[in-house]
Amino acid sequence: MGLVSLKGLEFFAYHGYYDEEQKVGNKYSVDITVKADLKTAAVQDELSQTVNYEALYKIVKDKMQIRCRLLEHIGYEIIQSIFLEFLEAQWVEVSIAKYNPPIGGVCKEARVTLTEKRPQPDPGTESVGLENKKPLASDDS
C-alpha cells in the first residue's frame, strides 16, 4: 500500500451557508490523501496503474466549481468521485479550508476534514448486473 497526496490546492469558489457568501465567493484550500495499492505502478513504471494526481486535481477542481452550502458536502462529493474514478483507492482523506470565514471574529481559516474507507460489499449479497435484469415490457397500446 502507499499514499498519493496533493497538498495546498487553492481555489476561489462560491460556497457558504449564507447567501452573501455564495454571491461574493471566497478563497479555499484543499488537501487530499488517497491510500491505494501502488506496487504494480512502482514495479511497472506505468501511470495507468496508480492514482494519477492530475486526475485527482481535476476531480477537486470540478467539485469546487459546484456551489454548496457546507464544506462537509463538498468533501463528501470529492471522496465519492475518487472512489468511482480509482477502483484501487482503499481510503481517502479530504481536508477543505475556507479562509477568513464569517464568524464574527478573527479566524484565519475554518477547516473540515473527512476520512472514509471504501465501502465493502455485504458478504451475503450478490450484485446483479444488467445482463440478469429482465427487459421492461413494451407498451404498444
| Sequential DSSP letters for 65-83 | TS--S-HHHHHHHHHHHHH
Q: Where in the sequence numbering do the catalytic residues fall?
A: 98
Query: Dihedrals φ, ψ of 105, to 5°?
Result: -160, 180
Contact 63, 78 (CB under 8 A): yes
Three-class SS of residue 139? coil
| Sequential DSSP letters for 93-134 | EEEEEEES-SSSS--SEEEEEEEEEPPPPPTT-----GGGSP
